[in-house]
Amino acid sequence: MRRSSLRTAVAVVTAGLTLTACGGSDDGGGSGGSGSDAATATSAEDFGGMDALIEAAQEEGTLNVIALPRDWANYGEMLDTFSEKYGIEINEANPTGSSQDELNAVESQRGQDRAPDVLDLGTAFARQAQAEGLTAPYQVETWDEIPEGQKDPEGHWFNDYGGYISIGCNASVIAECPTTFADLLDPQYAGQVALNGNPTQAAAAFAGVWAASLANGGDLDDIGPGIDFFKQIKDVGNFNPVEITPATIQSGETPIAIDWDYLNASFTEDFAADGVEWQVAVPSDGLFGGYYSQAISKFAPHPAAARLWQEFLYSDEGQNIWLKGGARPVRLPAMEDAGTADAEALSALPPVEGTAEFPTQEQETAAQAVVAERWNAEISG
């Protein structure tokens, strides 16, 4: 969406389901400054301020993350910068895991040193985690600049970065790149149209189906036309069930990738260095946007480090790292107003025409049920 409409779309929820991040007790562990318990701290003030939070996190010395690919929204730079800035070692588990994998790890590794401290989830899964009692409420210092509707009021989860469904195209092997969903039915794209995973499991793929629905007479109350559309793509021989990766894109195995714009755009520079021309278009006939969400595990073995990680992510420095990765950080409107947004990174965002549509929680839940019932039977079967 245009940045101007991003400012007004404060009720954003992601349509995504996944993301392609001494032993603690069951109630968490560690202690913060001023005698406060880090596992129950709901703000930096509970530690006695940021300096005390930093000290408590550095005393723990470790942060466990899960399902954070380094090439996703510039997470490589985010992880390295945090580690170097605070001298905290980061353990990176299952970088290609899904949101469900993250929740499974919280449950199965509960009480273990290796359990996740923090989570980066599709919002539907963040809500699920909260409902299952897996999250700890926390409000970062920049809390007031996270728009209402993009956060749980108590801080059990809060949106972090977002983007739009886009069509990426390897122009080195595709003569004429598609720019709309309608284009994808052209016979010239036989066996070339792929999603980032299965929409019953993967955030980007689920959002891609919903975007296709908007492009084909559907709406936020009816994702069915999106499934119908992909059935058409399959019937004409254009659908490729292989999950896209940089390797499959470069090799020409999946030269057309339906994915979040910040993920598609992140390939451009690296592909160019390898002699691959990569084009990214945000289709105007199916404009769909969404955010992912952060949460702290209630059972984090390093509760102070988990809270410091969130403070870093929602600082200007952290938000600009996501912006450099082509994602639109949740505090971007406030940072633009304050003049703290990275101007060069902002200007590099893929152009978007029109105003994105965003589902409510109820619409999202209903759409998930439809996809779960129909996709594997009609597309994967």
pLDDT digits (tens, 9 = 90+) for 175-215: 999 999 999 999 999 999 999 999 988 878 999 999 999 99
Rounded to a whole number, what is the largest CA-CA distance in the chain? 67
Question: Residue 4 — pLDDT band, cuts 50, 70, 90?
Answer: very low
pLDDT computed for residue 19 by the predictor: 35
- In angstroms, the CA 254 to CA 192 distance is 5
Q: Decide if 314 contacts 249 (C-beta within 8 A).
A: no
Buried b (16+ CB within 10 A) or exposed e, 279-289: bbbbbeebbbb
Indicate whether 143 pLDDT > 90. Answer: yes
Backbone angles phi, psi at 269, to 5 degrees: -65, -45
Q: Which domains does the chain have, with CATH numbers?
A: 13-161+290-347 (3.40.190.10), 163-289+354-380 (3.40.190.10)
Question: How big, in percent rounded to 5, are the helix, strand and coil portions of the chain?
Answer: 45, 15, 40
Angle formed at CA 148 by CA 372 and CA 368, multiple of 5 degrees: 5
As a whole number of Å, the CA-based R_g of the chain is: 20
Q: Decide if 63 contacts 85 (C-beta within 8 A).
A: no
Provide the sign of the torsion angle of the four alpha carbons 66, 291, 362, 226, taken in this order. Answer: negative
Number of continuous H segments (helices) and E segments (strands) in the chain: 15, 10
Question: Residue 60 — pLDDT band, cuts 50, 70, 90?
Answer: very high
Higher-pLDDT residue of 304, 8: 304
Structure tokens at 190: 């036989």
Per-residue model confidence as pLDDT tens digits over 217-260: 999 999 999 999 999 999 999 999 999 999 999 999 999 999 99
Which of 126, 73, 119, 74 is CA-nearest to residue 94?
119
Residues 6+ apart with CB under 8 A from 108: none
- What is the torsion angle, in degrees rounded to the nearest 10, for the CA atoms of residue 74, residue 77, residue 80 and residue 83? -80
pLDDT computed for residue 100 by the predictor: 87
Higher-pLDDT residue of 361, 20: 361
Higher-pLDDT residue of 56, 263: 56
Torsion-angle region of 326 (φ positive above 0: left; ψ -120 to 50: alpha; else: beta): left
Per-residue model confidence as pLDDT tens digits over 72-120: 999 999 999 999 999 999 999 999 888 889 999 999 999 999 999 999 9
What is the DSSP code string of 315-349? SHHHHHHHHHTT-EETTHHHHHHHT-S-HHHHHTS
Indicate whether 140 pLDDT > 90. Answer: yes
3-state secondary structure of 268: helix
Per-residue model confidence as pLDDT tens digits over 314-361: 999 999 999 999 999 999 999 999 999 999 999 988 778 877 767 877
Structure tokens at 312: 């870093």
pLDDT computed for residue 193 by the predictor: 98
Structure tokens at 115: 């359990």
pLDDT computed for residue 201 by the predictor: 81
pLDDT computed for residue 381 by the predictor: 64
Q: Look up the pTM and report it.
A: 0.78
| Exposed/middle/buried for residue 70 (C-beta within 10 Å: 0-12, 13-18, 19+) | middle
Residues 6+ apart with CB under 8 A from 81: 317, 321
Structure tokens at 77: 């730079």
